[in-house]
């Protein structure tokens, strides 16, 4: 693809699909899944207490954290799965041909990998520093319960995400 086209589809900070591009890919995938009656899952992820990283360590540190999480998602999820960034500290994953018990296991795998992540940072005085203890909350919605319309799936995943946040964070909640 030409560079101008790629940059319209990718989020500059993380290299992931941006929300508009992800949306388009997700709708296409859901149409295919619906006609084949394949189950599909949507994971909505939000980094816990991300504002503290930006406030305490600066937004360059915040950007390093976002890039590290994006890399982790890309290397811990199959190539055919759709990973996107919805802006801020929110990410989204669509898993084709995945039922709810698999989706929950995959979400738990991602949650554990984020909790184990160590992000190398450089402080303002140039000294090396590692951020540990980052966590993520994840809401999961499946076509088995919510059908193949993307807005319905995202709304359900968002409610589940809110529930995960409300129950103490660093959690996976099924819609």
Q: Which of residues 65-84 bind ligand C2E (CB under 6 A)?
A: 75-79, 81
Catalytic residue chosen out of the listed positions 89, 90, 102, 104: 89
For ligand C2E, how many residues bind (rule: CB under 6 A)? 12
Work out which of 14, 18, 40, 98 binds ligand C2E, going by CB under 6 A: 98
Name the strand (E) or helix (H) holding 170: none
The runs of H, that is alpha helices, within 77-142 are 100-116
Strands 136-142 and 172-174, sheet pairing: parallel
x/- site string to ligand C2E, residues 6 to 25, per CB under 6 A? --------------------
Measured distance CA(142)–CA(157) in Å, rounded = 9
Check residue 95 for interaction with ligand C2E (CB under 6 A): yes
Which of 29/48 has CB closer to ligand C2E? 29
- Annotated active-site residue 89? The verdict is yes
Phi and psi angles of residue 82, each rounded to the nearest 5 degrees, phi first: -100, 115
Measured distance CA(119)–CA(165) in Å, rounded = 22
Check residue 54 for interaction with ligand C2E (CB under 6 A): no
Considering the complex, what minimum distance in angstroms separates the CB of residue 2 from ligand C2E?
26
DSSP-based three-state secondary structure for 99: coil
Q: Which of residues 121-140 bind ligand C2E (CB under 6 A)?
A: none
Check residue 161 for interaction with ligand C2E (CB under 6 A): no
Which whole-number Å values give the CA distances from 8 to 22, 32, 89, 137, in the listed order? 11, 24, 20, 28
Structure tokens given for 75: 């290397």
Give the interface with ligand C2E as residue ranges (CB under 6 A): 75-79, 81, 95, 98, 102, 105-106, 109
Q: Which residues are catalytic?
A: 89
């Amino acid at each position: 693809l030409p560079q101008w086209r790629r940059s319209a589809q990718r989020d500059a900070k993380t290299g992931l699909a941006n929300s508009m591009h992800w949306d388009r890919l997700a709708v296409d995938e859901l149409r295919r899944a619906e006609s084949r009656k394949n189950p599909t899952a949507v994971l909505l992820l939000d980094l816990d207490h991300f504002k503290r990283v930006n406030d305490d360590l600066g937004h360059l540190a915040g950007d390093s954290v976002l890039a590290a999480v994006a890399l982790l998602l890309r290397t811990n999820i199959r190539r055919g799965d759709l990973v996107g960034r919805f802006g801020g500290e929110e990410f989204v994953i669509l898993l084709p041909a995945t039922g709810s018990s698999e989706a929950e296991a995959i979400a738990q795998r991602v949650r554990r990998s984020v909790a184990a992540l160590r992000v190398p940072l450089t402080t303002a005085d140039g000294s090396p520093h590692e951020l540990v203890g980052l966590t993520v909350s994840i809401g999961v919605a499946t076509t088995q319960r919510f059908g193949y319309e993307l807005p319905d799936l995202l709304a359900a995943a968002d409610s589940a995400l809110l529930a995960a946040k409300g129950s103490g964070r660093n959690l996976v909640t099924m819609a």
